[in-house]
């Protein structure tokens, strides 16, 4: 009879060991899956931030180029007519016109898709105006929205303060007369 009792204890011990291994395996698998999901979310966040930075860089470089082009062409006769008398107002008018060459016009969307992937960013210029307290500063308000398909979307609103080059009426008059 002792042999039968010992065999029963061995069976219980084996079943208990199998149960413990099963529980630990499920816990380990669960942790691995949670870690994979967390890595996926982190990667999406990194990609969204990268797309936002790309959109912001695009706007900043376009604004810089349009600003220098507007300052260079301010005295040119080939620019579209701006029926404004003050030089800063004309500069803003020409600046807006130059931005259109970069497909950045107020209240229009610019969508950029990267390759065949669903990665894209959208830029909307909300306003271009002279600063209230400084006539030599232009404020460009814009929003960049990054998207990774339909799941992940992140948006940021920014303001660029652009100092106009020192423009005087005498410079403008001299370049037109001479």
Summarised one tens digit per residue, pLDDT across range 123-147 is 888 888 888 887 778 888 999 998 8
Whether residue 1 has pLDDT greater than 70: no
Identify the band that residue 171 occupies on the pLDDT scale cut at 50, 70 and 90: very low
Q: How far is CA 103 from CA 80, 138, 150, 159, in A?
A: 17, 19, 25, 18
Largest CA distance in the chain: 123
125-161 in b/e form (b: 16+ CB < 10 A) is: beebebeeeeeeebebebbbbbbbeeebebeeeeebe
Which of the four pLDDT bands, split at 50, 70 and 90, describes residue 175? very low
Question: What pLDDT, on a 0 to 100 scale, did the predictor assign at position 118?
Answer: 80
Q: What is the pLDDT of residue 81?
A: 66
Strand-pairing partners, residue 146, are 121, 154
Q: What is the pLDDT of residues 95-129, one digit of tens each?
A: 888 888 888 888 888 888 877 778 888 888 888 88
Q: What is the pLDDT of residue 5?
A: 59
What per-residue confidence (pLDDT) applies to 10? Answer: 85
Predicted confidence band of residue 79 (pLDDT cuts 50, 70, 90): low
Asked if the model's pLDDT at residue 85 lies above 80, the reply is no
Distance CA 95, CA 88 (A): 10
| 3-state SS class at 41 | helix
What pLDDT shows up at residue 27? Answer: 94
Convert the pLDDT of each residue in 28-55 to its tens digit: 999 999 999 999 889 888 988 998 999 9
Average pLDDT, the chain: 80
Q: What is the pLDDT of residue 2?
A: 52
Can you tell me whether residue 149 is helix, strand or coil? coil
State the Cα–Cα distance between residues 6 and 14, nearest whole angstrom: 12
């Amino acid at each position: 009879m002792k042999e039968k009792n010992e065999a029963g204890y061995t069976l219980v011990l084996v079943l208990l060991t199998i149960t413990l291994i099963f529980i630990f395996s499920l816990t380990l698998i669960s942790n691995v899956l949670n870690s994979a999901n967390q890595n996926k979310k982190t990667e999406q966040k990194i990609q969204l931030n990268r797309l936002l930075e790309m959109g912001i860089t695009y706007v900043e470089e376009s604004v810089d180029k349009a600003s220098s082009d507007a300052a260079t062409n301010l005295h040119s006769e080939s620019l579209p007519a701006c029926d404004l008398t003050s030089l800063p107002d004309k500069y803003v008018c020409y600046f807006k016109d130059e931005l259109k060459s970069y497909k950045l016009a107020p209240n229009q969307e610019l969508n950029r898709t990267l390759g065949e992937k669903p990665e894209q960013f959208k830029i909307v210029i909300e306003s271009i105006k002279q600063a209230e307290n400084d006539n030599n500063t232009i404020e460009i308000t814009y929003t960049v929205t990054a998207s990774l398909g339909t799941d992940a979307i992140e948006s940021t609103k920014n303001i660029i303060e652009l100092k106009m080059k020192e423009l005087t009426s005498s410079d403008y008059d001299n370049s037109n007369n001479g």
